Structure 1
Amino acid sequence: MSDTKTAFEQAQKDVKTLTERPSNDDLLTLYAHFKQGTDGDVSGKRPGMLDMVGRAKYDAWAGLKGMSSEDAMQKYIAKVNELLGR
């Protein structure tokens, strides 16, 4: 297993130890980088106007289109470390 993948899995565990709920922007960043790192580019249709949360998540993920899985994982790790104050 690569070092990045190992660190990514550890970051997924570490993020659950946060004492405060991150801001919505931080949550969207985490979501988008997680999805890009695990699933690649966004697929499917953009949610409708009434699904504001789904639409925001889709848009955040779509904004990373073309980013490599490795880069997305590294940015996810960096964001988790920033939120943990490391």
Structure 2
Amino acid sequence: MKNLKSRPTDAELLELYAFFQQASVGDNNTDSPSLFNLKAQDKWSAWNGKKGMSQEAAKEAYIVYAEELIAKYG
């Protein structure tokens, strides 16, 4: 991802982060961060949105999504 010609949107990066966390850790079991910490709240919400997805499915989804981003941003 660091070698892309242009930066993906924040929403796209959050989606990639969520797949990565779900693939490596599994379901989000952390407390929701403070609403005043917007970046942490966004990351927590994105990961929490993958709850119930198996780690194997998340790994596959991560790869597919990363390939889409590479095709889109070169």
TM-score (norm 2): 0.91
Which 5+ residue runs of structure 2 have no aligned equivalent? none
Which letter maps to 2:3?
A: T
* Structure 1 equivalent of residue 30 of structure 2: 44
- Distance in 1 separating the partners of 2:6 and 2:29: 31
Distance 1:71 1:35 in 2: 12
Larger helix share, 1 or 2: 1
Aligned to 2:70: 84
Instruction: Tell me the SS of whatever aligns to 1:54.
Output: helix
Percent identical among aligned pairs is 39
2:48 aligns with: 62
Shift of 1:16: 2.4
The number of aligned residues is 72
Question: RMSD value over aligned CA atoms?
Answer: 1.2
Q: Which portions of structure 1, spanning 4 or more consecutive aligned residues, are displaced by more than 3 angstroms? A: none
TM-score with structure 1 setting the length: 0.79
Which moved further from structure 2: 75-84 or 29-38?
75-84
